[in-house]
Amino acid sequence: MSAILVLTKNLLVEQTLQEQLQYLSYEVFCSVELFNLLKANDQYKERQNDYLRQLLANYQAVVLSETISDSEIQTLMPLVTANNRVLMRKLNSRPSKREEEQIKKSGVDGWIITDNSIDSLREQLVEKLAGYHKEEAKIVFLYPNQMESGDIVKLQGSLSNREKAVLDCLLKANGEIVSRDELCAYLWNEAPNNSHLSQASVLIKRIKMKLELAGYDPEMLKTIWGRGYLLIQSTLTNEYFMEAR
């Protein structure tokens, strides 16, 4: 499944696009928080920028919302640009010839129109992503042994209620694999369906990102293909439950 990141200033604006992309079987993550971190990258040390680049490495395409200005996009470009990543600008209407040239000069690969039909959106993405081949084995997170202990308060504060429920479920498994069906049953208290499975996958990606931003090794949370999810036992286990008391 292809993963697409939508950077935005307003999550409500992206609801229609997110639903369309999920209908087309793309895994979608919309984020205001990550946009703000990328925009402020010059305020961080190079190590923080490395973390952000590694987070972005999980996405085949990045959509830049119409809520983001052209000048802000230029600020983001040093971190979001990669040889094998597609950058798409989301617009309210088809650009003029002059605007098309400006978009190309900015380093963006193309655009998505907000009122595009599902068929049009599908063909645009198929064309743009055709040359993308994700070599997952080559994605390496930096400092894997130096992020065991992070900021538990920051992590707790960044998690949504649903994300906390996911983490609770995985922590209670005590280092055992939790199947996707088991996780969905825990979260929604009903038989899993395709929507639940897709949402669970998105929640896992969000938690991994927030683990890393809080200073933990995101690789402690693993997707075991065909089996489910695994949270490797670490100092996080005790810290999380102590903080929750």
The CATH number for 108's domain is: 3.40.50.2300
Domain for residue 162, yes or no? yes
Which stretches of 130-193 are DSSP H helices?
152-158, 161-172, 180-188
CB neighbours of 100 closer than 8 A, spacing ≥ 6?
none
Tokens representing 168 are: 């609770």
Residue 157 confidence (pLDDT) above 60: yes
| Other beta carbons within 10 Å of 145 | 6
175: region left, alpha or beta (phi > 0 left; psi from -120 to 50 alpha): left
Can you give the CATH number for the domain in which 158 is found? 1.10.10.10
134, 65: one domain: yes
How far is Cα 186 from Cα 171, in angstroms, rounded to an integer?
Answer: 13
10, 128: one domain: yes
Last residue of a domain, one of 111, 138, 165: 138
**pLDDT tens digit sequence for 10-43:** 988 998 898 888 888 888 889 888 888 888 765 5
pLDDT band at 48 (very low <50, low <70, confident <90, very high): low
Structural Rg of the chain based on CA atoms: 19
Question: What is the predicted pLDDT for the residue at 25?
Answer: 84
55, 88: one domain: yes
User: Nearest to residue 128, comparing CAs of 106, 111, 115, 114?
Assistant: 111
Q: State percent of the chain over pLDDT 90.
A: 18
180, 231: one domain: yes
Alpha-carbon separation of residue 238 from 140, 152, 176, 210 (angstroms): 27, 10, 16, 18
Which residues, in sequence order, are bridge partners of residue 4?
28, 61
How far is Cα 118 from Cα 65, in angstroms, rounded to an integer?
Answer: 18
Domain for residue 29, yes or no? yes
Domain for residue 195, yes or no? yes
Number of domains present in the structure of the chain: 2
Instruction: Give yes or no for a contact between 22 and 80, defined as CB atoms under 8 angstroms apart.
Output: no
How far is Cα 194 from Cα 241, in angstroms, rounded to an integer?
Answer: 31
pTM exceeds cut of 0.95: no
Task: Write out the residue range of the structural domain in which residue 210 sits.
Answer: 152-244
How far is Cα 80 from Cα 73, in angstroms, rounded to an integer?
Answer: 9
**pLDDT tens digit sequence for 168-223:** 999 888 888 999 999 999 999 988 888 898 889 899 988 988 888 887 878 788 88
226: region left, alpha or beta (phi > 0 left; psi from -120 to 50 alpha): left
Which residues, in sequence order, are bridge partners of residue 31?
7
Residues counted in the chain: 245
